[in-house]
Amino acid sequence: MRKTLRTLLLVAAAVLLGYALSDYSDSRHAPAGDTARSTPKLPVEVAAKAQHWNWSQSTGDSSRVEIFAESFSQDASGGQIDLYGVELRIFHDAGSTYDRVVSAAATFSLTDGKLFSAGETVITLGVPSDGKAESPTVITTSAVTFYTKSNQARTEQPTAYAFDGGRGRSVGAVYESGTSVLHMKSDVYLERFAAGRGESATQIRAGELYYHEQAGRIDLRQRARVERGAQWLECDEGTVRLYAGVVRKIEASGAVGGERGEDREVRFETPRFEAHYSEKQVLERLHGYGATTFTATNKLQTLAVNGERMTLFYRPIDSGGDSELERVDVRRASRLRIEPHGAGLRRTVVSEALELRMRPGGREIERVETHEPGRIELIPAGQAGGGRRTLDAERMRIDYDRSNRMRALLATGNVRLVRGPEQEGAPALETWSGGLEAAFGPEADEMTRLRQWDGFRFVEGERRGRADEGIFDVAANALELTGKAEVADAAGRVTARRIVLDRTARRLEAETDVTSVFSGEGAEDSAEPGAGLFAEDVPVYAAAAKMLSDQENGVIEYRGRARLWQNDNRVEAERITIDRRARALTAQRQVATSLTADGAAGEAPATVTVYADDLRYDEDSRLAVFDGQVDFRRDRLRVLSDSLTAVLRADDGEAGSMERATAAGAVKIFETAAGEGRSGFGERAVYDPEAAAIVLTGRPARVVSAAGDETRGAELTYLTDGDRLRVSGQGSDRAYTYRRARK
């Protein structure tokens, strides 16, 4: 292209012809001799006429300018000289080559210093002086006028340019030789042919073009367009800057460009554009300033990048002198949007500073990083908000696969994630943390696993939680909390070292140092026991090694040193299960239950503790059934039996308060009074806390004192409020007392 423009400037070579003709005009006034006598008589209007004329002007030992003309004539006034068959040679490079200007006729005006060639004028650039093959760089035009006083050449006619590897044309041209500025006035077209097979030609069209030779600058005006194969660029105005004769920088305003292919279309639009090239003419980077947009569209999706300032960095291709997109930097109001054509997720990244790194080939994104606080939005295409995902963080890094789908995500600093509900009316899931990383599936652009750490918190409707770390398994729709984990809702709170929420099955699992506190019936999906064993208006606490809460069937299970308590009432066991729908509670293995039992009139309520292998409680019947090695204890009284059934008071009574208890199967009663204790044996024992009495029955029932005295009867009543024993018979049965002989 440098040679092309330089060739166009040679229209200015006509000025030298004007200087040569001026020298000749001065020489015609020399003294006349025999030569004057041999000159034929000319017409009145012609002052001089000759054939085979030449002139040269040298500088030092090298020839600078040579002019040849087949013939010339000068008018009688002496003010105009006509040349015919003109050839002008301008030598350069120490005379090894020259530029040649050929015209059939030219007229030079001595009065105003104008040189005019009306017909076709051909200028050939870089002709070898040794006569070898000529350079194919040629300019063809007509009606050329050169003003010697201002060193300006001008034509309003079409001008054609042919050069090594290209061609061009324009309508009208002006050249200022003093400033070396070429002005192509209108309809500018330049074409550089393809360098090799399979490559494309470069075409430039402009309404107007200025070439500043000394400054090494080309100005394009009146909406210019550059095309190379499927690549193109349009601008309102543009400037090409040359260094050492090669293009190194292009500036443009109102620029729009892109590339069209069979399966992909790229578009770049910016109010102000800059392109930088290497010494080998390889594109290095592009800059866009002010509301810049870069888009790439294929059959599956559209990728769009917007920002107030955008830079595209290119890397050379090893196989040739071309380059490919390597990185995109965007600043101020930066936005990346990837939108599928059809079903899928519309992905948007917003930040004040974005960096996109491209895969080899420059067609797919490899990574996106935000260098300022930013946001990611994932919105199902065609939906206003259902299933929407929004992520805010101070820094983010996104890795993509070859289809521009998200493969991995890392976010740090004040992370906030909002997962919109899949179904209308359901609550959104909102999380916070110091860090976040996510993995995406290979087929769908959807998270498969999400991990958040450093102060993880979440809110989902009335449910909220916190932990050192939170892991969300998207496929299983499960949220795992680890390290000081806590989940709470309107009904209560659960803490543990690890908590897993299965959002699909509405199931909660907690393990290691599990504690919980609940009050009232709470919401339907709460983990509150609600079996009625404890008062509804007082918090109920629980602790265990593991807890399971299934909200679908209303079952809550505590395992491993499980404990439930409310004030003085307590249930302990290896396993405690609460069935909210059945309004029942069961406890298994090493069961220990503490309940309140009313005392006799004037006595304060006492605490009753029952140990057993199993416990079953039914809220509707208010029955608590203990089985397997039952051990009933109250103050200094202890009852052993195979089973024990306790009736709790009605709802208007105190929660957990025992109304009556019945022990059955190999009943044994121990009394540990100060100084003397008694033991009772029977098949059945009924404890009435209000009467402060135990009725023992059997065949027969027996009570043995510490001294060895024994009382037998079908029914024995032991009064717990004093050292009294009442014995009664039934029917023909009689009661007997046997006293041990004393020494």
DSSP-derived 3-state class of residue 742: coil
Distances (CA, A) of 609 to 114, 335, 365, 630: 128, 68, 69, 10
Long-range Cβ pairs for the range 57-62 (8 Å, 24+): 57/16, 57/19, 57/20, 57/23, 62/91, 62/94, 62/95
Distances (CA, A) of 460 to 357, 426, 432, 463, 519: 36, 9, 12, 5, 20
Q: Which domains does the chain carry?
A: 1-29+45-154 (2.60.450), 583-738 (2.60.450.10)
Q: How far apart are the C-alpha atoms of 378 and 425, rounded to whole Å?
A: 20
Confidence (pLDDT) at 654? 57
Contact call for residues 574 and 526 (beta carbons, < 8 A): no
Which tokens in the block code for residue 297? Answer: 């569209």
Whether pTM > 0.85 for this model: the answer is no
What are the 10-residue block averages of pLDDT along the chain, 743 residues in total? 31 27 28 36 45 64 68 73 79 72 81 81 79 72 78 85 83 77 89 72 89 84 86 89 82 89 86 89 90 91 94 81 87 92 86 94 90 92 67 95 88 94 82 94 77 95 94 88 93 93 88 87 44 70 94 90 88 93 91 79 74 92 92 86 88 66 91 67 89 85 80 80 57 56 55
Q: How far apart are the C-alpha atoms of 135 and 133, rounded to whole Å?
A: 7
Please give the backbone phi and psi of residue 540, each rounded to the nearest 5 degrees, phi first: -110, 130
Which tokens in the block code for residue 435? Answer: 């860090």
Q: How far apart are the C-alpha atoms of 190 and 392, rounded to whole Å?
A: 50
Cis peptide before 700 (omega within 30 of 0): yes
Contact call for residues 20 and 148 (beta carbons, < 8 A): no
